[in-house]
Amino acid sequence: MIRRANISDIKEIYKLIEAFANKGEMLHRPLTDMYDNLRDFYVYEEDSAIIGSCALHIIWEDMAEIRSLTVKEGSSGKGIGSVLVNACLDEAKALGIKRVFALTYKPVFFEKLGFISIDKMTLPHKIWGECIKCFKFPNCDETAVMIEL
């Protein structure tokens, strides 16, 4: 079942993100950011356990970002990631957002959903505010992908 995240989900979402971040497959997110952005998150729940999460973060009047896409190890390959991303894209469409991007280490996954790879430098400067906090800045090795809605 997919649903909007609630406050009691944050620590589980954080654990999922940290598991991938500790392997270098995702960037760390401070727990305080998770609470600040609670309303951005969807979770995928199975047998009362959160096994996936994804966030849609609005950047500007016509642009949003897919963030923090996670699927618990052992549950990948079942379409959970696709369901989570599509929930975010549906929300973006409902809000009238025209473009959605992601910074990812797995561009092929996003390309299967209709995203295309783009040059990161074409993204608005506003997104780099968070990048400055990253230990990899300015040598980001993530790939930018975008979909037009």
Return the DSSP state at 142.
Answer: P
Q: Where are the beta strands (DSSP E) in the chain?
A: 2-4, 41-46, 49-60, 63-71, 99-104, 116-118, 143-148
Q: What is the pLDDT of residue 125?
A: 62
Over residues 68-94, mean pLDDT: 95
pLDDT at 99: 97
Q: Tell me, what's the pLDDT at 142?
A: 84
pLDDT tens per residue across span 2-34: 999 999 999 999 999 999 999 888 888 899 999
- pLDDT value for 133: 58
Confidence of residue 136 (pLDDT cuts 50, 70, 90): low
- The neighbouring-strand residues paired with 4 are 42
pLDDT tens-place string over residues 87-121: 999 999 999 999 999 999 899 999 999 999 998 88
pLDDT at residue number 128: 58
Report all structural domains of the chain as residue ranges with CATH numbers, in order of start. Answer: 2-148 (3.40.630.30)
Rounded to the nearest 5 degrees, what angle is found at the Cα of 111, between the Cα atoms of 107 and 117?
60
In whole angstroms, what is the distance from residue 2 CA to residue 30 CA?
Answer: 24
